Amino acid sequence: MNHCTPKDLLEGRSPANAQFIDVREPEELAEVAWPMFAAMPMSGFQGTFQELDKNRPVVILCRSGKRSENCGIFLESKGFAEVWNVDGGIIQAEEEGAPVVFNQD
């Protein structure tokens, strides 16, 4: 598995034609989100991962980097060749100035 930081992504150092996936749960996504990442909660990941293209890189985000790493390991076991974990997750993304969106409620 490959690893990157939010700063890497902000500076354009991400794989070409990547799929950006956020595996946090809906209640977490409702609090703060990074819009370039599509929601695919970990709780249903085994049933939804088939929607991803095995021939394109997958960049995975969660709160801190652990759940996304577990999902990445799962994808590799299913034949995905290029998987990237965002180390530090949305917490680090916010700290590094990513264009995150907060729920205003």
pLDDT in tens, the chain (105 residues): 999 999 999 999 999 999 999 999 999 999 999 999 999 999 999 999 999 999 999 999 999 999 999 999 999 999 999 999 999 999 999 999 999 999 865
Q: What is the pTM of this model?
A: 0.96
Q: Which residues contact 95 (CB under 8 A, 6 or more apart)?
A: 6, 88
Predicted confidence at residue 104, as pLDDT, reads 61
- Report pLDDT for 103: 81
CATH no., domain 2-102: 3.40.250.10
Q: What residue segments make up the domains of the chain, in order of their start?
A: 2-102
CA distance 69 to 76: 11
Q: Would you name the residues annotated as active-site residues? A: 62
* Three-state DSSP class for residue 52: coil
